[in-house]
A and B are shown apart, each in its own frame.
Chain A
Protein backbone atom coordinates (compact mmCIF):
# COMPACT_ATOMS: atom_id res chain seq x y z
CA UNK A 1 0.00 0.00 0.00
CA UNK A 2 1.22 3.46 -0.85
CA UNK A 3 2.23 5.91 1.78
CA UNK A 4 -0.13 8.88 1.38
CA UNK A 5 1.99 11.22 3.54
CA UNK A 6 4.77 11.48 0.98
CA UNK A 7 4.49 12.89 -2.51
CA UNK A 8 6.12 10.63 -5.08
CA UNK A 9 7.94 12.42 -7.92
CA UNK A 10 5.36 11.29 -10.51
CA UNK A 11 2.65 12.92 -8.41
CA UNK A 12 4.55 16.21 -8.47
CA UNK A 13 4.75 15.89 -12.22
CA UNK A 14 0.99 15.33 -12.46
CA UNK A 15 0.37 18.36 -10.21
CA UNK A 16 2.65 20.45 -12.44
CA UNK A 17 0.88 19.27 -15.59
CA UNK A 18 -2.53 20.04 -14.14
CA UNK A 19 -1.38 23.48 -12.95
CA UNK A 20 0.12 24.33 -16.33
CA UNK A 21 -2.48 22.87 -18.62
CA UNK A 22 -5.54 22.82 -16.42
CA UNK A 23 -6.67 26.46 -16.45
CA UNK A 24 -8.75 27.54 -19.43
CA UNK A 25 -10.22 30.89 -20.38
CA UNK A 26 -13.96 31.29 -20.32
CA UNK A 27 -15.64 31.94 -23.67
CA UNK A 28 -15.46 35.67 -24.43
CA UNK A 29 -19.22 36.18 -24.43
CA UNK A 30 -19.88 34.25 -21.22
CA UNK A 31 -19.87 37.24 -18.86
CA UNK A 32 -22.00 39.31 -21.26
CA UNK A 33 -24.56 36.51 -21.53
CA UNK A 34 -24.67 36.10 -17.78
CA UNK A 35 -25.18 39.84 -17.26
CA UNK A 36 -27.91 39.94 -19.90
CA UNK A 37 -29.79 37.29 -17.94
CA UNK A 38 -29.09 39.06 -14.67
CA UNK A 39 -30.52 42.34 -15.99
CA UNK A 40 -33.58 40.47 -17.22
CA UNK A 41 -34.09 38.97 -13.76
CA UNK A 42 -36.26 40.79 -11.27
CA UNK A 43 -34.20 42.60 -8.68
CA UNK A 44 -33.35 40.15 -5.88
CA UNK A 45 -35.65 40.83 -2.98
CA UNK A 46 -33.84 41.75 0.15
CA UNK A 47 -35.02 40.04 3.23
CA UNK A 48 -37.39 42.28 5.15
CA UNK A 49 -35.45 43.15 8.26
CA UNK A 50 -37.95 44.62 10.66
CA UNK A 51 -36.01 42.94 13.44
CA UNK A 52 -32.28 42.30 13.54
CA UNK A 53 -31.22 38.70 13.01
CA UNK A 54 -31.25 36.43 16.10
CA UNK A 55 -27.46 36.30 15.93
CA UNK A 56 -27.26 40.09 16.34
CA UNK A 57 -29.97 40.06 19.01
CA UNK A 58 -28.18 37.46 21.12
CA UNK A 59 -26.02 39.88 23.21
CA UNK A 60 -28.99 42.17 23.81
CA UNK A 61 -31.12 39.19 24.85
CA UNK A 62 -28.41 38.10 27.29
CA UNK A 63 -28.41 41.57 28.88
CA UNK A 64 -32.22 41.58 29.05
CA UNK A 65 -32.25 38.14 30.68
CA UNK A 66 -29.64 39.27 33.22
CA UNK A 67 -31.68 42.40 33.98
CA UNK A 68 -34.86 40.35 34.47
CA UNK A 69 -33.05 37.96 36.81
CA UNK A 70 -31.63 40.87 38.85
CA UNK A 71 -35.05 42.55 39.12
CA UNK A 72 -36.61 39.22 40.16
CA UNK A 73 -33.92 38.72 42.81
CA UNK A 74 -34.42 42.27 44.10
CA UNK A 75 -38.18 41.81 44.20
CA UNK A 76 -37.81 38.48 45.98
CA UNK A 77 -35.40 39.87 48.55
CA UNK A 78 -37.71 42.82 49.23
CA UNK A 79 -40.65 40.50 49.81
CA UNK A 80 -38.58 38.14 51.89
CA UNK A 81 -37.64 41.05 54.17
CA UNK A 82 -41.29 42.07 54.55
CA UNK A 83 -42.34 38.51 55.29
CA UNK A 84 -39.59 38.11 57.86
CA UNK A 85 -40.83 41.19 59.73
CA UNK A 86 -44.42 40.06 59.71
CA UNK A 87 -43.57 36.50 60.64
CA UNK A 88 -42.14 37.67 63.94
CA UNK A 89 -45.50 38.86 65.11
CA UNK A 90 -45.63 41.79 62.73
CA UNK A 91 -49.29 41.36 61.89
CA UNK A 92 -50.36 41.46 65.48
CA UNK A 93 -48.03 44.41 66.11
CA UNK A 94 -49.55 46.30 63.21
CA UNK A 95 -53.00 45.71 64.67
CA UNK A 96 -51.82 46.89 68.02
CA UNK A 97 -50.32 50.00 66.53
CA UNK A 98 -53.50 50.74 64.64
CA UNK A 99 -55.55 50.43 67.80
CA UNK A 100 -53.13 52.51 69.83
CA UNK A 101 -53.92 55.75 68.08
CA UNK A 102 -51.40 58.40 69.23
CA UNK A 103 -49.03 55.84 70.62
CA UNK A 104 -48.55 53.83 67.45
CA UNK A 105 -45.25 52.18 66.89
CA UNK A 106 -44.74 51.45 70.57
CA UNK A 107 -43.83 47.80 70.70
CA UNK A 108 -43.16 47.00 74.30
CA UNK A 109 -40.24 44.72 74.99
CA UNK A 110 -41.15 41.71 77.05
CA UNK A 111 -44.89 42.11 76.43
CA UNK A 112 -46.44 39.70 74.01
CA UNK A 113 -48.43 41.59 71.40
CA UNK A 114 -52.08 40.80 71.24
CA UNK A 115 -54.84 41.63 68.87
CA UNK A 116 -56.95 44.56 70.13
CA UNK A 117 -54.35 45.64 72.70
CA UNK A 118 -53.46 49.30 73.18
CA UNK A 119 -50.07 50.66 74.12
CA UNK A 120 -49.99 53.93 75.98
CA UNK A 121 -46.61 55.53 76.54
CA UNK A 122 -45.58 58.13 79.07
CA UNK A 123 -48.32 57.58 81.64
CA UNK A 124 -47.30 59.06 85.04
CA UNK A 125 -47.14 56.28 87.60
CA UNK A 126 -49.17 58.34 90.10
CA UNK A 127 -51.97 58.75 87.59
CA UNK A 128 -51.88 55.06 86.72
CA UNK A 129 -52.26 54.19 90.42
CA UNK A 130 -55.16 56.56 90.71
CA UNK A 131 -57.01 55.35 87.64
CA UNK A 132 -56.49 51.63 87.81
CA UNK A 133 -58.66 49.37 89.99
CA UNK A 134 -57.05 48.23 93.23
CA UNK A 135 -56.56 44.67 92.00
CA UNK A 136 -54.31 45.91 89.20
CA UNK A 137 -52.17 48.33 91.17
CA UNK A 138 -49.58 45.90 92.54
CA UNK A 139 -47.10 46.16 89.67
CA UNK A 140 -47.31 49.97 89.75
CA UNK A 141 -46.54 50.29 93.41
CA UNK A 142 -43.23 48.58 92.77
CA UNK A 143 -42.57 50.86 89.84
CA UNK A 144 -43.51 53.96 91.82
CA UNK A 145 -40.68 53.33 94.22
CA UNK A 146 -38.17 52.54 91.53
CA UNK A 147 -35.69 54.87 89.87
CA UNK A 148 -37.55 57.33 87.66
CA UNK A 149 -35.06 56.91 84.81
CA UNK A 150 -35.65 53.19 84.67
CA UNK A 151 -37.73 52.26 81.66
CA UNK A 152 -40.70 50.15 82.55
CA UNK A 153 -43.68 48.66 80.82
CA UNK A 154 -46.63 46.86 82.25
CA UNK A 155 -49.30 44.83 80.55
CA UNK A 156 -52.70 44.80 82.16
CA UNK A 157 -55.63 42.62 81.20
CA UNK A 158 -58.78 44.68 81.35
CA UNK A 159 -62.40 43.46 81.13
CA UNK A 160 -63.87 44.40 77.77
CA UNK A 161 -66.58 46.53 79.39
CA UNK A 162 -64.03 48.77 81.10
CA UNK A 163 -61.41 48.73 78.33
CA UNK A 164 -62.39 51.86 76.42
CA UNK A 165 -62.96 54.03 79.50
CA UNK A 166 -59.65 53.03 81.04
CA UNK A 167 -57.83 53.54 77.75
CA UNK A 168 -59.24 57.10 77.46
CA UNK A 169 -58.23 57.97 81.05
CA UNK A 170 -54.69 56.69 80.58
CA UNK A 171 -54.30 58.49 77.26
CA UNK A 172 -55.48 61.70 78.92
CA UNK A 173 -53.03 61.19 81.76
CA UNK A 174 -50.19 60.61 79.31
CA UNK A 175 -51.12 63.77 77.44
CA UNK A 176 -51.15 65.85 80.60
CA UNK A 177 -47.92 64.56 82.02
CA UNK A 178 -44.96 66.91 82.04
CA UNK A 179 -42.35 64.82 83.80
CA UNK A 180 -41.76 62.56 86.77
CA UNK A 181 -41.87 58.80 86.89
CA UNK A 182 -43.63 57.62 83.74
CA UNK A 183 -44.51 54.23 82.41
CA UNK A 184 -45.71 52.45 79.32
CA UNK A 185 -48.92 50.55 79.76
CA UNK A 186 -50.25 47.90 77.46
CA UNK A 187 -53.95 47.38 77.96
CA UNK A 188 -55.15 44.00 76.83
CA UNK A 189 -58.76 43.12 76.36
CA UNK A 190 -59.65 40.26 78.68
Chain B
Protein backbone atom coordinates (compact mmCIF):
# COMPACT_ATOMS: atom_id res chain seq x y z
CA UNK B 1 0.00 0.00 0.00
CA UNK B 2 2.67 2.44 0.96
CA UNK B 3 4.60 1.62 -2.22
CA UNK B 4 1.89 3.32 -4.22
CA UNK B 5 2.94 6.63 -2.70
CA UNK B 6 6.70 6.11 -3.02
CA UNK B 7 8.38 8.67 -5.24
CA UNK B 8 11.16 7.49 -7.49
CA UNK B 9 14.05 9.92 -7.32
CA UNK B 10 16.89 10.03 -9.90
CA UNK B 11 19.97 8.04 -8.99
CA UNK B 12 22.14 9.81 -6.47
CA UNK B 13 19.24 11.84 -5.09
CA UNK B 14 17.96 9.22 -2.65
CA UNK B 15 18.04 10.83 0.76
CA UNK B 16 20.46 8.99 2.98
CA UNK B 17 19.27 8.07 6.47
CA UNK B 18 21.45 10.08 8.77
CA UNK B 19 20.63 8.21 11.97
CA UNK B 20 18.64 11.06 13.52
CA UNK B 21 15.17 10.38 14.82
CA UNK B 22 12.86 13.33 14.23
CA UNK B 23 10.63 14.01 17.21
CA UNK B 24 7.38 15.92 16.81
CA UNK B 25 7.63 19.52 18.00
CA UNK B 26 6.33 20.20 21.49
CA UNK B 27 3.13 22.12 22.11
CA UNK B 28 5.17 25.02 23.43
CA UNK B 29 7.35 25.16 20.29
CA UNK B 30 4.25 25.09 18.07
CA UNK B 31 2.58 27.73 20.26
CA UNK B 32 5.62 29.98 19.86
CA UNK B 33 5.37 29.67 16.08
CA UNK B 34 1.60 30.16 16.16
CA UNK B 35 2.06 33.32 18.27
CA UNK B 36 4.17 34.69 15.43
CA UNK B 37 1.26 34.05 13.03
CA UNK B 38 2.20 30.58 11.73
CA UNK B 39 -1.16 29.02 10.83
CA UNK B 40 0.43 25.66 9.97
CA UNK B 41 1.77 25.39 13.53
CA UNK B 42 -1.66 26.27 14.90
CA UNK B 43 -3.27 23.64 12.69
CA UNK B 44 -0.95 21.02 14.16
CA UNK B 45 -2.07 22.06 17.63
CA UNK B 46 -5.73 21.83 16.58
CA UNK B 47 -5.26 18.35 15.13
CA UNK B 48 -3.35 17.23 18.19
CA UNK B 49 -5.91 18.42 20.77
CA UNK B 50 -9.28 18.47 18.96
CA UNK B 51 -10.50 15.11 20.27
CA UNK B 52 -9.75 15.85 23.92
CA UNK B 53 -11.20 19.35 23.59
CA UNK B 54 -14.34 17.95 22.01
CA UNK B 55 -14.59 15.26 24.70
CA UNK B 56 -14.33 17.90 27.42
CA UNK B 57 -16.95 20.11 25.78
CA UNK B 58 -19.35 17.25 25.04
CA UNK B 59 -19.09 15.66 28.49
CA UNK B 60 -19.65 19.01 30.19
CA UNK B 61 -22.41 20.40 27.95
CA UNK B 62 -23.94 16.96 27.18
CA UNK B 63 -24.96 18.32 23.81
CA UNK B 64 -23.20 17.62 20.51
CA UNK B 65 -24.12 20.87 18.80
CA UNK B 66 -23.06 22.92 21.84
CA UNK B 67 -19.84 20.94 22.15
CA UNK B 68 -18.99 21.52 18.51
CA UNK B 69 -19.65 25.25 18.81
CA UNK B 70 -17.64 25.49 22.03
CA UNK B 71 -14.57 23.86 20.49
CA UNK B 72 -14.81 25.80 17.26
CA UNK B 73 -15.31 29.17 18.98
CA UNK B 74 -12.77 28.29 21.64
CA UNK B 75 -10.07 27.46 19.10
CA UNK B 76 -10.71 30.61 17.08
CA UNK B 77 -10.56 32.63 20.33
CA UNK B 78 -7.30 30.87 21.17
CA UNK B 79 -5.88 31.83 17.77
CA UNK B 80 -6.82 35.47 18.38
CA UNK B 81 -5.29 35.35 21.85
CA UNK B 82 -2.09 33.56 20.77
CA UNK B 83 0.08 36.70 20.96
CA UNK B 84 -1.01 37.12 24.59
CA UNK B 85 -0.38 33.47 25.53
CA UNK B 86 1.88 33.35 28.60
CA UNK B 87 4.79 31.01 28.02
CA UNK B 88 4.88 29.90 31.68
CA UNK B 89 1.43 28.23 31.34
CA UNK B 90 0.96 24.76 29.82
CA UNK B 91 -0.50 25.27 26.36
CA UNK B 92 -2.97 22.36 26.49
CA UNK B 93 -4.34 23.54 29.86
CA UNK B 94 -4.74 27.03 28.46
CA UNK B 95 -6.77 25.70 25.50
CA UNK B 96 -8.86 23.40 27.73
CA UNK B 97 -9.65 26.36 29.95
CA UNK B 98 -10.88 28.45 27.01
CA UNK B 99 -13.12 25.62 25.80
CA UNK B 100 -14.39 24.87 29.32
CA UNK B 101 -15.38 28.51 29.78
CA UNK B 102 -17.32 28.32 26.51
CA UNK B 103 -18.97 25.12 27.75
CA UNK B 104 -20.10 26.77 31.00
CA UNK B 105 -21.43 29.71 28.95
CA UNK B 106 -23.38 27.28 26.76
CA UNK B 107 -24.90 25.62 29.83
CA UNK B 108 -25.93 29.01 31.26
CA UNK B 109 -27.43 30.03 27.95
CA UNK B 110 -29.36 26.78 27.75
CA UNK B 111 -30.65 27.24 31.30
CA UNK B 112 -31.91 30.73 30.46
CA UNK B 113 -33.72 29.46 27.36
CA UNK B 114 -34.75 26.11 28.82
CA UNK B 115 -36.83 23.90 26.60
CA UNK B 116 -38.39 20.61 27.70
CA UNK B 117 -36.19 17.75 26.59
CA UNK B 118 -37.90 14.54 25.52
CA UNK B 119 -36.72 11.44 27.25
CA UNK B 120 -34.15 9.49 25.23
CA UNK B 121 -35.58 6.23 24.06
CA UNK B 122 -33.07 3.41 23.99
CA UNK B 123 -33.64 1.42 20.81
CA UNK B 124 -30.65 -0.86 21.03
CA UNK B 125 -30.10 -4.17 22.65
CA UNK B 126 -26.30 -3.81 22.69
CA UNK B 127 -25.28 -3.88 26.36
CA UNK B 128 -22.25 -1.61 25.90
CA UNK B 129 -24.40 1.04 24.18
CA UNK B 130 -26.91 0.84 27.01
CA UNK B 131 -24.14 1.23 29.52
CA UNK B 132 -22.85 4.26 27.61
CA UNK B 133 -26.27 5.87 27.68
CA UNK B 134 -26.53 5.13 31.40
CA UNK B 135 -23.23 6.85 32.00
CA UNK B 136 -24.30 9.89 29.99
CA UNK B 137 -27.55 10.10 31.98
CA UNK B 138 -25.64 9.80 35.21
CA UNK B 139 -23.23 12.56 34.13
CA UNK B 140 -26.21 14.74 33.32
CA UNK B 141 -27.39 14.38 36.91
CA UNK B 142 -24.19 15.97 38.19
CA UNK B 143 -23.70 19.72 38.63
CA UNK B 144 -21.48 21.11 35.83
CA UNK B 145 -18.59 21.81 38.28
CA UNK B 146 -18.59 18.19 39.50
CA UNK B 147 -19.05 16.88 35.97
CA UNK B 148 -16.05 18.94 34.81
CA UNK B 149 -13.87 17.44 37.57
CA UNK B 150 -14.91 13.88 36.65
CA UNK B 151 -14.26 14.56 32.97
CA UNK B 152 -10.90 16.25 33.59
CA UNK B 153 -9.58 13.54 35.91
CA UNK B 154 -11.25 10.30 34.77
CA UNK B 155 -12.04 10.93 31.09
CA UNK B 156 -9.08 13.08 30.05
CA UNK B 157 -6.79 11.49 32.65
CA UNK B 158 -5.30 14.76 33.85
CA UNK B 159 -3.32 14.70 37.11
CA UNK B 160 -4.89 16.55 40.07
CA UNK B 161 -2.67 19.61 39.80
CA UNK B 162 -3.29 20.04 36.08
CA UNK B 163 -7.02 19.50 36.55
CA UNK B 164 -6.92 22.16 39.29
CA UNK B 165 -5.12 24.52 36.93
CA UNK B 166 -7.74 23.89 34.25
CA UNK B 167 -10.70 24.35 36.60
CA UNK B 168 -9.17 27.19 38.58
CA UNK B 169 -9.39 25.37 41.93
CA UNK B 170 -6.74 23.94 44.29
CA UNK B 171 -5.79 20.24 43.91
CA UNK B 172 -7.37 19.50 47.31
CA UNK B 173 -10.72 20.77 46.05
CA UNK B 174 -10.30 18.69 42.88
CA UNK B 175 -9.79 15.61 45.04
CA UNK B 176 -12.86 16.18 47.18
CA UNK B 177 -15.07 17.10 44.21
CA UNK B 178 -13.88 14.02 42.33
CA UNK B 179 -14.75 11.82 45.31
CA UNK B 180 -18.25 13.27 45.49
CA UNK B 181 -18.76 13.07 41.72
CA UNK B 182 -17.77 9.39 41.66
CA UNK B 183 -19.98 8.64 44.66
CA UNK B 184 -22.92 10.32 42.99
CA UNK B 185 -22.31 8.49 39.69
CA UNK B 186 -22.01 5.18 41.54
CA UNK B 187 -25.28 5.84 43.38
CA UNK B 188 -27.07 6.65 40.11
CA UNK B 189 -25.66 3.73 38.13
CA UNK B 190 -25.77 1.04 40.81
CA UNK B 191 -29.54 0.34 40.92
CA UNK B 192 -29.66 0.22 37.12
CA UNK B 193 -26.76 -2.25 36.94
CA UNK B 194 -28.16 -4.38 39.69
CA UNK B 195 -31.43 -4.87 37.81
A21, A35, A47: the one contacting B131 at CB < 8 Å is A21
Interface residue SS majority, chain B: helix
B114 within 8 A of A: no
Question: Least Cβ distance of B132 to chain A in Å?
Answer: 5
Query: Which of A4, A26, A30, A39 lies at the interface centre, i.e. has the most chain B CB atoms within 10 A of its CB?
Result: A26
Known: A22-B154, A35-B39. A17 touches B135 (CB 8 A): yes
Interface size class of A (residues with CB under 8 A): 20 to 34
Q: What chain A residues lie within 8 Å of B31 (beta carbons)?
A: none
A109 CB within 8 Å of chain B: no
- Interface of B toward A, CB cutoff 8 Å: 35-37, 39, 42-43, 46-47, 50-55, 58-59, 68, 71-72, 75-76, 79-84, 131-132, 135, 150-151, 153-157, 175-176, 179, 182-183, 185-186, 189-190
Q: Do B54 and A27 have beta carbons less than 8 Å apart? A: yes
6 extra A-B contacts, CB within 8 A, seeds A37-B76, A38-B79, A43-B37 = A18-B151, A18-B185, A19-B157, A23-B51, A30-B68, A46-B35
B residues within 8 A CB of A8?
Answer: 183, 186
Which of A13, A14, A23 has the largest count of B CB atoms less than 10 A from its CB? Answer: A14
CA distance A126 to B154 in the complex (A): 115
Residues 1-43 of A, flagged 1 when their CB comes within 8 A of B and 0 if not, give 0101000101101110111011111110011011101110101
Bound-state Cα–Cα, A8 to B36, Å: 49
Contacts of A35 in B (CB 8 A): 39, 42-43, 46
A binding-site residues for B, Cβ under 8 Å: 2, 4, 8, 10-11, 13-15, 17-19, 21-27, 30-31, 33-35, 37-39, 41, 43-47
Do residues B59 and A22 form an inter-chain contact, with CB atoms below 8 A? Answer: yes
The answer to whether A17 touches B131, judged by C-beta atoms less than 8 angstroms apart, is yes
Contacts A21-B131, A22-B55 given: A34-B155 contact, CB under 8 Å? no
Distance between A24 CB and nearest chain B CB, rounded to angstroms: 5
- Tell me if B131 and A44 are in contact (CB < 8 A): no
Q: Are B175 and A13 in contact (CB under 8 A)?
A: no
The smallest C-beta distance from A81 to any residue of chain B, in angstroms, reads 49
Decide if A31 touches B50 in the complex (CB within 8 Å). Answer: yes
**Nearest opposing residue in chain B for A4, CB measure:** B179
Q: Which residue of chain A has the shortest Cβ distance to B84 in the bound complex?
A: A47
- Known interface pairs A22-B59, A30-B50, A44-B83. Does A14 touch B182 (Cβ–Cβ under 8 Å)? yes
Bound complex: CA A85 to CA B106 (Å): 81
- Complex contact B186–A2 (CB within 8 A): no
What is the distance, in angstroms, from B31's C-beta to the closest C-beta of chain A? 12
